[in-house]
């Protein structure tokens, strides 16, 4: 059970073909010279974090020792008698040392940029995660269709989901932190009044969504700068930093004229995060319910069916916001992301170098 790097040299046909007796296109695969119809048993011993691991292949043809370049045992815990690992036990140390830094600096930003474009609470599929992994780590590619890679796919998927969950938690935390700072010097009564003001309306249009709100001479209220309020920019900045790479503020693939690049899910979650923060200040002071009620989670904030009045009633907590987000135009997106990036570079954890 191991990650295999297929390092090939374009200067040598022998290198292109892979090491003798191996199948250079398969992860953890060692190809025998005997026909497929012959009976054979394979025993592979992998040294953890070794640059080269000796694979012993036992077959009716005898024992052949083969040095396979790039074989790295993700963890000794994978080398048990049944070759399985418990999902709860998976850690970052289960991937090779050589690519662990890039997991954080390249794989994770690419993953979160992809997830930010999904529906607010949608998770990436296994195929999505593995496609991003293989694109990032071409020398450590795995296949969801190869049974020999099942445990490796499980490791990657679990680590990826941990990053997605952490990203959502940071958005939720930012939503509370913004209001905590804004209400810091206000009295209890002032906070209660402000909360009612900001939550006015419904999920399709609330006061805190907008940068500017003005009443003209005829008494008509004009709203400008949707999802560009200081609070929104501060929360969306978390996504911009989470998707930063090589010193550049993310999302790197964003283009105002490309709908497929718009981080609609990140905006939807940011809206939930700010609304959640306001709800926790309804009494005039910050009161966060105990888990699981207080968690920033799908079960608490996604669409749900309410049976409290007998007949089922859909509560469109997420879809109502998503409907508004989906109506945004290119000019809106350009201003939203520009404002969020500007907020991101003001943070202490903003990357150095080119900003965006």
Percent of the residues in the chain that have a pLDDT greater than 70, as a whole number: 74
- What pLDDT does residue 311 have? 87
Residue 286 lies in a domain: yes
Examine the domain organization and report whether 171 and 285 are in the same domain: yes
Does 2 map to a domain? yes
Please report whether residue 1 resides in a domain: yes
Least confident window among 57-66, 69-78, 309-318: 57-66
Same domain membership, residue 171 and residue 46: no
Predicted local confidence at residue 262, as pLDDT: 98
What is the total residue count of the chain?
A: 356
| pLDDT over 60 (residue 252) | yes
Contact between 239 and 175 under an 8 Å Cβ cutoff? The reply is no
CA–CA dist 69, 333 (Å, integer): 47
At 306 the pLDDT is: 87
Give the model's pLDDT for residue 13.
37
pLDDT at residue 40 tops 50: no
In DSSP terms, 261 is beta-bridged to none
Asked if pLDDT for residue 253 goes beyond 80, the answer is: yes
pLDDT, position 140: 95
Same domain, 192 and 63: no
- Where is average pLDDT lowest: 79-88, 102-111, 253-262? 79-88
* 33 vs 275 pLDDT, higher one: 275
Q: Is the dihedral of CA 112, 152, 99, 174 positive or negative?
A: positive
What mean pLDDT, rounded, does the chain reach?
A: 80
Whether 164 shows a pLDDT value over 90: the answer reads yes
User: What is the reported pLDDT for 190?
Assistant: 98
Instruction: Report the domain count for the chain.
Output: 2
Measure the CA–CA gap between 95 and 3, rounded to whole angstroms: 8
Question: What does pTM read for this prediction?
Answer: 0.76
When pLDDT is cut at 50, 70 and 90, the band that residue 83 belongs to is: low
Whose tokens are 């009976």? That residue is 39
Q: Which of 31, 57, 73 is the last residue of a domain?
A: 73
Instruction: Give residue 26's domain range.
Output: 1-73
Highest mean pLDDT among 47-56, 195-204, 212-221, 238-247: 238-247
Q: Which two tokens stand for residue 13?
A: 């046909």
The pLDDT, as a whole number, for residue 159 is 97
Which tokens go with 256?
A: 């105002």
336 in the same domain as 227: yes
Q: Give pLDDT, residue 225.
A: 96
**Domain end marker among 45, 73, 101:** 73
Which pLDDT score is estimated for 327?
96
Name every residue whose Cβ is closer than 8 Å to that of residue 245 and which is 6 or more positions away in sequence. 105, 106, 109, 110, 252
115 is a domain residue: no
Q: What's residue 3's pLDDT? A: 60
* 325 and 208 in a common domain: yes
Neighbours of 6 (CB within 10 A): 18
In a domain, 331, yes or no: yes
Poorest-pLDDT segment among 9-18, 124-133, 295-304: 9-18
More confident site: 16 or 144? 144
Based on the domain organization, do 69 and 178 belong to the same domain? no
> In this structure, are residues 106 and 252 in contact, taking their beta carbons and an 8 Å threshold?
no
173 falls within a domain: yes
- Do 179 and 294 belong to one domain? yes
pLDDT band at 107 (very low <50, low <70, confident <90, very high): very high
Kindly tell me if the per-residue pLDDT of 286 is higher than 80. yes
In this prediction, residue 2 has a pLDDT band, given cuts at 50, 70 and 90, of low
Does residue 186 sit in the same domain as residue 60? no
**pLDDT of residue 35 exceeding 50:** no
Mean pLDDT score, 288-304:
94
Among 73, 92, 120, give the residue marking a domain's end: 73
In a domain, 95, yes or no: no
More confident position, 117 or 20? 117
| pLDDT tens for each residue of 191-222 | 999 999 999 988 989 999 999 988 888 888 89
In a domain, 355, yes or no: no
- Mean pLDDT for 230-237 is 97
């Amino acid at each position: 059970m191991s990650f295999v790097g297929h390092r090939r040299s374009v200067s040598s046909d022998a290198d292109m073909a892979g090491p003798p007796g191996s199948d250079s296109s398969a992860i953890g695969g060692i190809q025998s010279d005997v026909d497929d119809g012959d009976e054979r048993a394979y025993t592979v011993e992998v040294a953890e974090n070794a640059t080269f691991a000796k694979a012993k292949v036992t077959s009716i043809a005898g024992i052949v020792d083969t040095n396979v370049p790039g074989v790295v045992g993700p963890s000794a815990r994978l080398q048990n008698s049944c070759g399985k690992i418990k999902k709860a036990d998976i850690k970052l140390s289960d991937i090779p040392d050589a690519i662990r830094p890039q997991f954080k600096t390249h794989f994770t930003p690419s993953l979160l940029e992809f997830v930010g474009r999904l529906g607010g609470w949608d998770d990436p599929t296994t195929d999505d995660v593995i496609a991003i992994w293989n694109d990032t780590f071409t020398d450590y590619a795995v296949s969801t269709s190869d049974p020999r890679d099942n445990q490796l796919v499980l490791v990657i998927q679990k680590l990826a989901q941990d990053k997605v969950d952490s990203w959502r938690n940071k958005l939720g935390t930012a939503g509370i932190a913004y209001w905590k700072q804004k209400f810091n010097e206000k009295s209890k009564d002032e906070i209660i009044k402000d909360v009612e003001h900001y939550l006015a309306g419904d999920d399709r249009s609330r006061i805190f969504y907008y940068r500017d709100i003005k009443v003209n001479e005829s008494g008509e209220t004009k709203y400008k700068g949707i999802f560009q309020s200081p609070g929104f920019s501060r929360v969306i900045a978390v996504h911009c930093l989470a998707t930063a790479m090589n010193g550049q503020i993310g999302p790197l693939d964003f283009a105002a004229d490309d709908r497929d690049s718009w981080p609609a899910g990140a905006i939807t979650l940011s809206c939930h995060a700010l609304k959640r923060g306001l709800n926790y200040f309804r009494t005039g002071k910050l009161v966060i319910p105990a888990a699981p009620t207080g968690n920033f989670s799908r079960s608490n904030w996604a669409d749900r069916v309410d049976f409290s009045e007998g007949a089922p009633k859909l509560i469109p907590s997420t879809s109502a916001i998503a409907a508004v987000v989906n109506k945004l135009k290119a000019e809106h997106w350009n201003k939203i992301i520009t404002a969020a990036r500007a907020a991101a570079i003001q943070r202490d954890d903003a990357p150095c170098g080119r900003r965006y």
